[in-house]
Chains A and B, each alone.
Chain A
Amino acid sequence: MTGSATRVYALHLAVIVALFVIQFALPAYHYGNVTRIMLYAVFAIGYNILLGYTGLLSLGHALFFAAGAYGAGLTAHWWGFGPIAALSAGIGAALLVSLITGAIVYRTTGVAFLIVTLMLAQAAFLSTLYFNTITLGDQGIVLSLPPIALFGASLPLADPMVKYNVALVAFALALLLSLWLLRSPFGRVLIAVRENEARTRLLGYNTALYRFTALVISGTLSGLSGALYCLLFGYVGSSFASLQYSTLPLLWTLLGGSGVTLGPPLGAAITHYLIDISSSLTSSYMILVGVALVAITLWFPQGLAGWFRRWKRA
């Protein structure tokens, strides 16, 4: 391992350790917030694999988030799956939806890709409303789950400490997975696809297949986030498939800086707190998301990471 690789891994491990340690000091209110942020961060990391490293802008990641959430929520509600079985069902559902989506958008890039992802997510959103005898539509399903039975211990999901640490484990896994992936030969090809697809194809890589694989990994990670969100907070509803859940990962990634592993989680944290503060002031807090998106395109196309890099160089 080269010096820089060690430093990069050390930095990411330090973030994970810091998140583990601060749980003993956080006040209850922020405890819940950080739990949510870590789950959103998994979603953001998944999204970034596609936007940041493959250069594909998706406007429909709510599709995968909702696939995970409904995969877990519906099996738990209707078939009485336990937490671990439901989580597996959620991940499986997200994987399946990612494979199907990937097969449909296989050859599209750029503008066509984002319109199709937007459409598919909207179709999914409308389906959650249409099949409301199963999904209970807008109102959604409130789950009451049995505790997780793990190595003889019984961990109740209502316990904030269980929630926090489950979210932390998911976050750590997603972060290290994305870091490892992007430093692997596979990740290098993805970056090559982003930078110059024609040239990469000319070098003999099946770029469409790489894009497809990136989409499947990205979608499955987003689904993991959705499944855990549903299980830990005991709720799944149509809003999980709405445009808002496609916009947010885009904002997190652009705000934190796409193509930087820690950027999107940082973006998720900032966005969460900004929305949290502004939602106590006004019911139209989503206007902040709109203003942020416009401001980023105008003034911070590289996000906070780019700003930080420029600041370090100066």
Chain B
Amino acid sequence: MITGPALLLALLEGTVGAAVLALTALGLSLVFGVMRVINIAHGEFVMLGAVVAWWCSADLLDAHPLLGFVVALAVAPLVVGAIAIAADWLVLRRIAYDPERTIVATMGLLYILQQGVLMGYGPDARPLDPPIYFRVQFPWFGYSGYKLIVAGLALLLLGATWLLLSRTRIGLYMRATRLDSETAQAFGVPVKRVYATVFALGAMLAALSGVLIAPIRGAHYLMGADPLLLSFIVVIVGGLGNLRGTLLAAACIGIGEGMISVLFSPTLSKIIATLLVAAVLVIRPGGLARSTAT
């Protein structure tokens, strides 16, 4: 029997999940929108973020979890962004961002990152202490205050990305490249550098969401699969490369996924979400193709 309090708990969990998912999916959507690259390794960037968070808080700075968390928020995007720039420079640029070849290459990158972490970090799922511990007391249950902070931080980061895209010169370059890279190039936009920046930015957003969820879910070398699957779903349902659609879809799917996870089972919620994509395609067969063609 589903009761009111259970529903409220599910709604809270869903909102937190949606906020983090929006961050991850925005990175994937940005990379696809600007570069026309499907990054299969996107989930691994989330995983790397979580692993860096673990490393900062448990290994490097064994002082207070909050200090490690703050350091990780700065270090993880830098490390992961650097890896992304290296991948762009060493691989993606050399195959001229050809859609199918980049998919094979990022598939390779997925295994290199995942197995590299397995080598260096080991197969264990390692828990992290939440940086802040307090409970928000509802009449029926207490809820982890850290989770609410996660949602807040994710929204803050989304806002910052939005400002970056709409108010800065580099944001303008990205939008111009997204619309028409050849014309942008003709107007003096350094398209190659924009590509590298966008790929890094996408990876950094993923890494940040990894840092945020690490204290909730721990850090494990296989944890990239779920964020990859869910952000793919969001990006497809929202329209490939459509940033507003991505955010809207992330909100709906994130909350729905979170609620079904709490009320029924996390695996079932992912199965339903995946089949939803199939349904979208059956109902609107041309929809996806149209949005990929442009």
Contacts and interface: CB of A to CB of B under 8 A. Distances in A.
A58 to B, nearest CB: 11
Contacts of A33: none
B123 interface: yes
A286 B111 CA distance: 6
A301 B115 CA distance: 24
B115 A287 contact: yes
Given A250-B104, A297-B104, A108 B281 contact: yes
Nearest to B92: A297
Contacts of B94: 298
A131 B205 CA distance: 34
Interface stretch (A118-126, A175-183, A196-204): A118-126
A290 B292 contact: no
A123 B274 contact: yes
Given A115-B38, A126-B271, A129-B267, A293 B123 contact: no
B292 A112 contact: yes
B139 interface: no
A203 to B, nearest CB: 21
Contact of B267 (A116, A119, A126, A286): A126
A89 to B, nearest CB: 23
Contacts of B119: 282, 284, 287
Interface in A285-306: 285-287, 289-298, 301
A197 B119 CA distance: 44
Interface residues of A, number: 44
B181 interface: no
Interface string A88-110: 00000000000000001111111
A290 B203 CA distance: 19
Nearest to A106: B285
Interface string A126-148: 11011000000000000000000
A130 B107 contact: no
Contacts of B111: 247, 286-287, 289-291, 293
B105 interface: yes
A284 B110 CA distance: 13
Contacts of B101: 297, 301
Contact of B123 (A126, A283, A286): A283
B241 to A, nearest CB: 11
A53 to B, nearest CB: 15
Interface string B45-83: 000000000000000000000000000000000000000
B184 to A, nearest CB: 22
A112 B100 CA distance: 11
A57 interface: yes
Given A290-B110, A293-B105, A130 B271 contact: yes
Nearest to A295: B108
Contact of B109 (A111, A119, A129, A294): A294
A254 interface: yes
A120 B236 contact: no
A74 B31 CA distance: 42
A59 interface: yes
B1 interface: no
Main secondary structure, interface of B, reads helix
Contacts of A298: 91, 94-95, 105
Contact of B107 (A59, A115, A123): A59
A283 B114 CA distance: 12
Contacts of B102: 297
A297 B278 contact: no
Contact of B268 (A120, A130, A293): A130
A107 B284 CA distance: 10
Contacts of A247: 107, 111
A243 B106 CA distance: 14
Given A106-B285, A115-B236, A297-B101, A290 B108 contact: yes
A111 B229 contact: no
A292 B109 CA distance: 10
Interface string B256-281: 00000000010110110011011001
A114 interface: yes
B104 A112 contact: no
Contact of B103 (A57, A107, A284): A57
B100 A287 contact: no
B286 interface: yes
Contacts of B7: none
A294 B236 CA distance: 26
B118 interface: yes
A294 B112 contact: yes
B274 A120 contact: yes
Interface in B113-152: 113-116, 118-119, 123
9 nearest CB pairs, A to B: A290-B111, A293-B108, A287-B115, A294-B108, A290-B112, A123-B274, A284-B115, A284-B118, A130-B267
29 contacts: A57-B100, A57-B104, A107-B286, A107-B289, A110-B292, A112-B281, A112-B289, A114-B103, A119-B229, A119-B274, A126-B271, A127-B271, A130-B268, A130-B271, A247-B107, A247-B111, A250-B104, A282-B119, A284-B116, A286-B114, A287-B115, A290-B108, A290-B109, A290-B111, A293-B107, A294-B91, A295-B108, A297-B91, A297-B108
Interface of A: 57, 59, 104-112, 114-116, 118-120, 122-123, 126-127, 129-130, 243, 247, 250, 254, 282-287, 289-298, 301
Interface of B: 38, 40, 91, 94-95, 99-105, 107-116, 118-119, 123, 225, 229, 232-233, 236, 240, 265, 267-268, 270-271, 274-275, 277-278, 281-282, 285-286, 288-289, 292
